[in-house]
Chain A
Amino acid sequence: EIVMTQSPATLSVSPGERATLSCRASQSVNTNLAWYLQRPGQAPRLLIYGASTGATAIPARFSGSGSGTDFTLTISSLQSEDFAVYYCHQYNNWPLTFGGGTRVEIK
């Protein structure tokens, strides 16, 4: 099973600042990686797939990069609605696996 490790567990950021979230895979997943955002009490929402392709209607401030084992989600200027939990997800190998999540909180 591929283990996905996200860091940091919690990120404190001020509104308008840039946030950088990391995700590392225990073995290569090529670019078969997605990012999701989950707000309290809501279902997860797809942000990025294929490591760097933005999902439909996702604001341009969200961007993804990386390949192989190291991936990054960048939020260029945090808005109030971006304070949430973010998950990475690999779908290169069965079983599919998620990272443990990064909580982005208001500083």
Chain B
Amino acid sequence: EVQLVESGGGLVQPGGSLRLSCAASGFTFSNYEMNWVRQAPGKGLEWVSYINSGGDDKHYADSVKGRFTISRDNAKNSLFLQMNSLRADDTALYYCVRDGRQYEGAYRRFDHWGQGTLVTVSS
């Protein structure tokens, strides 16, 4: 069974930093592209960042570019999101999401989601 378990969320002051982690199990992590998607309280979904299976291709939403860094450790089946210069509007539930496509050129599909870790930015 595919499992994605996020951790690292919490309360942080504006301007502070947090590092989110996602522990993956039940599949060959190194074969899959991964994403972070967030959801502010009572709001819709916002894609945050992407990383390819090898970790050498990354993309970011404009709202986090230059402040957030995505990375992965395939040996430890883990995905990370380093968040710096945090702002109040970064407050959200952060989901670790697998892209289930099996090969480049196939349709992307966010087929497995974790339960999320809550980040609250407030003084």
Size of interface on B: residues with Cβ below 8 Å to A? 22
Interface SS, B side: strand
Could you tell me the distance between the alpha carbons of A85 and B39 in the complex, rounded to whole angstroms? 13
A interface with B by C-beta (< 8 Å): 1, 31-32, 34, 36, 38, 43-46, 49-50, 53, 55-56, 85, 87, 89, 91, 94-101
Map CB proximity to A onto B34-76 as digits: 1 under 8 Å, 0 otherwise.
0101000000111100100000000111100000000000000
Interface residues of B (CB under 8 A from A): 35, 37, 44-47, 50, 59-62, 95, 100, 107-111, 113-116
- Please tell me if the beta carbons of B61 and A95 are within 8 angstroms of each other in the complex: yes
**Could you tell me the distance between the alpha carbons of A34 and B108 in the complex, rounded to whole angstroms?**
8
- Is the CB–CB distance between A98 and B47 below 8 Å? yes
Complex contacts, B114 vs chain A, CB 8 Å: 43
